[in-house]
Amino acid sequence: MWGDGHLPHVSMDADSHKTEQKILLRSACLTAALALLGVLLGLVSRAQSLVFDGMFDAIDTGMSLVAWHASRLIGRGADCRFQFGYWHLEPILTLVSSTVRLFVCAYGLLGGVSSLMNGGRVIHYDIAITSAAISSCLSVVAFIYIQRNKRGLDSSLLDSDARGWQFGALMSGGLCASFLLAQALEGTSAAWMMPYIDPVVLILLTGGMLPYPISAIYRAGRSILQVAPRDLDQQVRAIAGDLVTRHGLIDHQCYVARIGRARFIEIGFITPTKHSGFTIAELDEIRSQVATELGGLRTADWLTVYFTAVRRRSLADPD
């Protein structure tokens, strides 16, 4: 082997991690307050959909606190136990939180169907409307706050948290609109429909939300299993192929993975068996060209570039 080079990077800078942790902690506190408000007013108003909304917020509170702790671990960088850092926690947390949300949605859907089959329920719409309106407004404010402050952080933890607030805003807004509609039916010939509004809205909300956690589970699963992202794989292969031609090398082999916000890239350049005159400085220059062609390495990237005359056998190689 002519030379072996690793270009590891330290974790995200301290200020960025502090910003991420501050946002996650504030989000968790606000979510806890909304969860308590939703459950209490949902029980008082007898609105099952509000109780579900509050329980959903309670789960988000727990997930935000876990994400906050994970952000602290990621900020520590690599250590003797996790020598590539704690980036793997991001897709794992996304998988766990999305799975929990999936089961909550399924439970809410079944609860709505059961209530509908039992004749629905009469609720106190004034309390329900107030609760849903407050929750919707605060969710919108929190979503905008996170979207503005997470720019440039490239944090899947904040992305997941922002999606939670977006779902919360849509859910609470839909509840508020449906409660207003139900209240408008009071005293009319369609008043018989009022007991069915709450379970129908619950069914529509939970059924409509089911695809989102399923999609998140799929993406997180691919990341955990280290399925090579097609776009990154094609980009790295194109860069390596161009450098092979430019420097008179024989071939290249590439291996990529994306875990959370971290990219792991390994490129092996196949060199002639006889010494071709490359100096260590020239090999380092090729490594630098790889990093430049990638658009510059981010703090979460780990790039390995090595040069060898021995081709590593891959499952993709023909017999």
Buried b (16+ CB within 10 A) or exposed e, 199-233: bbbbbebbeebeebbeebbeebeebbeeeebeebb
Strands (E) across the chain are located at 3-7, 251-259, 262-270, 301-308
What percentage of the chain reaches a pLDDT higher than 90? 5
Q: Across residues 163-192, what is the average pLDDT?
A: 81
Q: 235 φ, ψ to 5°?
A: -65, -45
**266-284 residue pLDDT tens:** 998 888 776 566 778 888 8
With a cut of 60, say whether residue 221 has pLDDT above it: yes
Q: Of 21, 285, 26, 19, nearest to 151 (Cα)?
A: 19
With a cut of 70, say whether residue 316 has pLDDT above it: no
For position 314, what pLDDT does the model report? 55
- Measured CA to CA in angstroms, residue 214 lies from 101, 104, 163, 243 at distances of 9, 12, 14, 40
d(CA 77, CA 13): 10
305 or 54: which leads in pLDDT: 305
For position 157, what pLDDT does the model report? 72
Options 1.20.1510.10, 3.40.30.10, 3.40.50.720, 2.40.30.10; CATH of 8-225: 1.20.1510.10
**88-127 residue pLDDT tens:** 788 888 888 888 888 878 887 887 888 888 887 777 778 8
With a cut of 90, say whether residue 237 has pLDDT above it: yes
Q: Quick one: pLDDT band at residue 236, thresholds 50, 70, 90?
A: very high
Among 97-111, 154-168, 227-241, which stretch is predicted with the lowest mean pLDDT? 154-168
d(CA 41, CA 132): 9
Q: Pairing between strand 262-270 and 301-308?
A: parallel
For position 29, what pLDDT does the model report? 87
Task: Output the average pLDDT for the chain.
Answer: 79
Q: Across residues 20-35, what is the average pLDDT?
A: 84
The architecture CATH gives domain 230-308 = 2-Layer Sandwich (3.30)
Q: Of 114, 142, 99, nearest to 198 (Cα)?
A: 114
Q: Quick one: pLDDT band at residue 11, thresholds 50, 70, 90?
A: very low
Domains of the chain, by residue range, sit at 8-225, 230-308
With a cut of 60, say whether residue 136 has pLDDT above it: yes
Cβ–Cβ < 8 Å for 78, 249: no
